[in-house]
Amino acid sequence: MASLFETELTALKGVGPRRAAQLAKLGAPTVGALLRCYPRSYEDWSSPQPIAQAAPGSPCLVKATVLRRPAAQRVRGGLTLYKTAAGDGSAVMDLVFFNNPYLPNQLQEGREYLFRGKMGGTLLRRQMSAPEFLPAGENLPVRPVYRLTEGLSNRMVTAAVARALEMLPQQVRDPLPPDLRERCGLCGLREALVQIHRPDSREALERAKRRLVFEELLVLQLGLFLLRSRERAPAGTALPRDCTEEFFRLLPFAPTRAQRRAVREAVSDLRGGKPMNRLVQGDVGSGKTVVAAALCYMAAKNGAQAALMAPTEILAEQHYRSLSALLAPAGIPVALLTGSQGAASRRQTLEGLASGEIRLVVGTHALLGEGVRFARLGLVVTDEQHRFGVAQRAALASKGERPHLLVMSATPIPRTLALMIYGDLDLSVLDELPPGRQPVSTYVIGSGKRRRALGFLQKQIDAGRQCYVVCPMVEEGAPELASVGSYAARLQQELPRARVGVLHGKMKPREKEAAMAAFAAGERDILVSTTVVEVGVDVPNATVMLVENAERYGLSQLHQLRGRVGRGAARSYCILVSDAQNEEAVARLQIMRRTNDGFRIADEDLRLRGPGDFFGSRQHGLPSLKIADLSGDMALLHLAQEEARALLREDPALDSHRLLRAEVRAQFSAAGSA
């Protein structure tokens, strides 16, 4: 397989430079990589039905003989129709295709084909428009359907994969050792690759999928376990003094039991001989910042420095203000470091960090800059971990002598999945909310009720409250989508007494800061925004979150948006506007209406959509899953974890499993965490 992974796609018959570039967009720059681009679904082409029995308006598969050569017919707008007919003895159907000049050569008179499409026409005269088709003798009982990009059809990808399979040698070097395959009941790699793309049967497909899912999960587990062992060298910064109760006396409120438990677990790490690597996961408003503040306090009181990295300047500034108010009176100076900071202020902060005078710094990615040096960095905290990657948190940690690491996430994840994603971290869960947090009332409405919803916003504004409106786009695009700029202008016309502000990701940092500051200060009644308000923004006076095109967001993201309201004493509301008819989209929105429990929502999100929100682009630094679906593959996940542990007990560096080690390195280096 190694040579195939180095073979350019242009070595395949029928694949030129243009087609190769298109396939590379799918993550397949080489022949071997193309074989690892697994189908996203499959179609059953094994059971055609007679034309006469096909229900009008329904998708169907029929086997029929072409009765005449397709004829071209020009119509208005430069469109060319190709028409023919096919019959199977039970009935005849017309076939219509659009702008396909190759069709007369593809459909030959007198030959039998399988046609798949929606049956139209009438009971007396059936018709299919632009059906998929295959020669009857070339049929696969189960046909793969691939992810596509512009210019690529499923037929093109299928043909390229078929050519790649022809290049697959009879003896494929398999990263899974024979004894492991036998123990776990897994087929070999060659069989798996052939059957995943061209399955002989449903049973063969399931056997291939099981093997490839297991391999993917095993590689991920091995990589995480190796990361964990690599990061568990002796701690460079000892923090022996427990200052927990001293810190809690600083708080103007009593911490929850969950906060106390999380702090206790982390303090045990800080006082131990190895660096802490801990994830604190909690629902919106569960008080993760208090846990982080307690540990920063402990680091400072033990003579060390702490750094807290947030994904946005808005959130960094919010943390800076709250931590300064809490810790500065206790003699712990707090500094801020962001990209938009003035030169004089930045220089002063850098000098304070280098001298050790500043014990706690809060910042953005600016903390990763080459000029940022610490006298004694003992604790690194990253907020909203899904916005950062393994490599980024390691870059900040490298500025100290093996400092302790705390990562925080307000994206609830099912516990098993959290252990999977953050397998290199210990886990603390904040599973209760501070007293006084009210549940947010959630409503799902169609766009026809938008005017009524806007009237409700005006009532809230008249009562002295503020509102968020979230749109999915910044610039004008598809007509059904609301754009932030045009929406805000229209909203200002419909609610002329309201003071409307705008916030989106393409604004300059200072513009974002000014927009958010104006809203927080009560100078704007409505903030029309993209999901930049998803994370951490805290305006207790805001009582309404209205989300346009709500079906376009995942459940976890909608829950994050809803968490921006309900932070004060007044009753709060979340209004989800959607005209979606798709069953899955409707089901997701109804889950939001029924529950405020972020962990239950995360379970439902995983069940409905799989782990897409937790892997891939959202979880930087880990390999994305190409075939495993954790909502249905939990048994294989547990088996992969057991086998990974067993392999590393016998061979800690995988020296005797070099193919497997190479696969782990390749996957994690591609994801930016090797």
C-alpha angle with apex 237: 236 to 241, nearest 5 degrees? 150
Residue with tokens 């420095």: 305
Give the best-scoring range by mean pLDDT among 87-91, 397-401, 408-412.
87-91
**Is the fold of 46-139 the same as that of 244-430?**
no
Q: Is the pLDDT of residue 251 over 60?
A: yes
Angle of helix 288-301 versus helix 313-327 axis, rounded to 10: 60
Pick the range with the lowest mean pLDDT from 94-98, 412-416, 547-551, 582-586.
Answer: 412-416
Those residues whose C-beta lies under 8 Å from the C-beta of residue 47, and which sit 6 or more positions away, are 61
Task: Find out whether 308 and 323 touch, Cβ atoms under 8 Å.
Answer: yes
Share of the chain above pLDDT 90, in %: 50
Query: Over 80: is that where the pLDDT of 391 sits?
Result: no
- Per-residue pLDDT for 345 more than 80? yes
**Helical packing angle, 598-609 and 555-562, nearest 10°:** 160
CA-to-CA dists, residue 225 to 214, 428, 540, angstroms: 16, 18, 42
CA distance 674 to 667: 9
Mean pLDDT of 603-612: 64
List b or e across 70-102, with b for residues whose CB sees 16 or more CB atoms inside 10 angstroms.
beeeeeeeeeebbebbbebeebbbebbbeeeee
Looking at domain 244-430, its CATH architecture is 3-Layer(aba) Sandwich (3.40)
pLDDT on residue 625: 75
In this predicted structure, the answer to whether residue 610 has a pLDDT above a threshold of 50 is yes
- The pLDDT, as a whole number, for residue 203 is 92
SS3 call for 7: coil
Task: Give the pLDDT band (50/70/90) at residue 35.
Answer: very high
How much is the pLDDT for 480? 46
Question: Mean per-residue pLDDT for 60-71?
Answer: 95
Q: Is the pLDDT of residue 611 over 60?
A: no
User: What's the N-to-C CA distance of the chain in angstroms?
Assistant: 22
Q: Look at 96 and 629; give whichever has higher pLDDT.
A: 96
Could you say which DSSP state residue 231 is in?
Answer: T
Is the pLDDT confidence value at 340 over 80?
A: yes
What average pLDDT does the segment 443-449 reach? 94
Give the chain's length. Answer: 674
Cβ-contact 525, 464 below 8 angstroms: no
Cα separations in angstroms, 5 against 29, 31, 293: 9, 6, 48
Nearest to 5 by CA among 664, 663, 668: 663
Tell me the pLDDT tens digit for each residue of 143-153: 899 988 888 88
- Going by pLDDT thresholds of 50, 70 and 90, the confidence category of residue 641 is confident
Q: The tokens of 52 are what? A: 């006469």
The hierarchical CATH code for the domain 441-595 is 3.40.50.300
- What is the C-alpha to C-alpha distance for residues 330 and 326, in angstroms, rounded to an integer? 8
pLDDT(577) > 60: yes
Q: Is 15 helix (H, G, I), strand (E, B) or coil?
A: coil
Given pLDDT bands bounded at 50, 70 and 90, which one contains residue 591?
A: very high
Q: How much is the pLDDT for 81?
A: 92
Strand order in the sheet with 441-445: 441-445, 573-577, 542-547, 466-470, 526-529, 500-503
pLDDT at residue 97, as a whole number: 94
The pLDDT of residue 233 is 61
Q: Does position 38 have pLDDT exceeding 90, yes or no?
A: yes
Q: Is the pLDDT of residue 28 over 70?
A: yes
pLDDT at 217 over 50: yes
pLDDT tens column, 272-327: 878 888 889 887 778 889 999 999 999 999 999 999 998 888 788 889 999 999 99
CA within 13 Å, CB half, 450: 18
> d(Cα 56, Cα 127) in Å, to the nearest integer?
9
Q: Which of these ranges, 156-170, 219-233, 514-528, 640-654, has the smallest mean pLDDT?
A: 219-233
Predicted local confidence at residue 418, as pLDDT: 67
**Is the separation of the CB atoms in 440 and 275 below 8 Å?**
no
Given the structure tokens 């938009």, which residue do they identify?
340
Beta bridge partners of 105: none
pLDDT in tens, 134-145: 888 776 778 899
**How far is 138 from 45, CA to CA, in rounded Å?**
11
The mean pLDDT value of the chain amounts to 86
pLDDT at 224: 80
User: How high is the pLDDT of residue 110?
Assistant: 95
Contact 145, 197 (CB under 8 A): no
**DSSP state letter for 412:** -
Burial (CB count within 10 angstroms: exposed 0-12, middle 13-18, buried 19+), residue 42: middle
pLDDT at 453 over 70: yes
Does residue 1 register a pLDDT over 80? no
77-129 pLDDT, tens digit each? 778 899 999 999 999 999 999 988 889 999 999 999 999 999 998 878 899 99
Burial class of residue 413 in the structure, from the number of CB atoms within 10 Å of its CB (0-12 exposed, 13-18 middle, 19+ buried)? buried
Burial (Cβ within 10 Å: 0-12, 13-18, ≥19) of residue 172: middle
Q: What is the pLDDT of residues 192-213, one digit of tens each?
A: 999 999 998 889 999 999 999 9
Q: What is the pLDDT of residue 612?
A: 45
Which superfamily does 46-139 belong to?
Answer: Nucleic acid-binding proteins (2.40.50.140)
Give counts: helices (H), strands (E), the chain: 23, 22
Residue type, 120: G
Nearest to 283 by CA among 434, 116, 81, 503: 434
Which tokens sit at 277? 């690597």
Sign of CA dihedral 165, 170, 175, 181: positive
The confidence band for 477, taking pLDDT boundaries of 50, 70 and 90, is very low
Q: What is the distance between the alpha carbons of residues 33 and 489, in angstroms, rounded to a whole number?
A: 48
Domain ranges of the chain: 46-139, 244-430, 441-595
pLDDT of residue 228: 67
% of the chain residues with pLDDT over 70: 88
Model pTM score: 0.65
Q: For residues 134 and 379, give the distance between their C-alpha atoms in angstroms, rounded to a whole number.
A: 62
Tell me which of 411 and 81 has the higher pLDDT.
81
Q: Tell whether the model's pLDDT for residue 232 goes beyond 70.
A: no
- Is residue 156 predicted with pLDDT exceeding 70? yes
Please answer whether residues 51 and 76 qualify as being in contact, where contact means their C-beta atoms are separated by less than 8 angstroms.
Answer: no
Q: What pLDDT does 188 receive? A: 95
